Structure 1
Amino acid sequence: MFGSIFYNFWAALLSFAVYFIAAIQNPYAMPLPTIGIALVIAVIAFGLMFLIRYFLGYVFYTPEAPVLSQSEEELPVVAEKTDKTKTVPQGDHTTMEVEDENTEEIAQVVRSMLQSDESLTR
């Protein structure tokens, strides 16, 4: 919600003053009904100010970007737990080992695709 409850009180005071000054201009205005109606209008303005403050809070709301507070050691562990795919932590293997594993996997996939293509063409 935008602002504080003091905005509600200021809106009530302002609406009371505006109505009272406008109503007292009438030469036949009675004091007690004029003050009573001004109080009712002040209460209504107080309540409406909650809606106005809520709307302004909604309009001016800007979500904050998430901040990553994880170190590099924690990231691969989190990725292995959340992803269904196989992940290889970079700190455990050298680049040569990773390349060998990847080429073996790629070769296996290509063999299986070729076998499925041959069975479909026959």
Structure 2
Amino acid sequence: MFGSIFYNFWAALLSFAVYFIATIQNPYAMPLPTIGTAFIIAVIGFGLMFPVRYLVGYVFYTPEAPVLLPAEEELPGVSGQETGKTETVPQSGHTAMEAEDENTEEIAQVVRSMLQSDESLSR
């Protein structure tokens, strides 16, 4: 949905003002019925703004671009298998958790080696 609830309040205020100004110009207009009807028109304007905001949000909606995998030529050492128009890239036997564990182990090893080199430099 486009915008916020404030657009609904602006629509209600505008519809109230337009109806009130148009009706009050009649010399025989009674003040209380005119104000009461203007409030009803404001509530209707408030409610009608929801579909308007939805329609504007629908018109301006831009879907995210799909993330494409690099072509086979751009991935050295990985053999892509083409099936129709889509490209599938076979994954290794590792799960995401194993890859994360290996990555943290590598980071820990790098940190240890950096600490050891710092200790040898400070002596």
Could you state the TM-score of these two structures normalised by the residue count of structure 2?
A: 0.56
- Amino acid paired to 2:58: Y
- Cα 1:20–1:68 change in 2 (3 A) is same
More strand by share: 2
**How big is each residue's C-alpha offset from its partner over 1:29-77, in whole Å with a ceiling of 9 and x where there is no partner?**
10110000000000000000000000001111110013369xx6xx87x
Where does residue 8 of structure 1 map in the other structure?
8
Q: Which runs of 4+ in 1 moved over 3 A?
A: none
User: In structure 2, what is the Cα distance between the partners aligned to 1:51 and 1:88?
Assistant: 44
**Gaps spanning 5+ residues in structure 1: where?**
90-122
Aligned sequence identity (%): 79
The 5 A counterparts of 1:1-122 are 1-67=1-67
RMSD between aligned residues: 3.2
Structure of greater Rg: 1
More helix by share: 1
Could you state the TM-score of these two structures normalised by the residue count of structure 1?
A: 0.56
**Gaps spanning 5+ residues in structure 2: where?**
70-74, 91-123
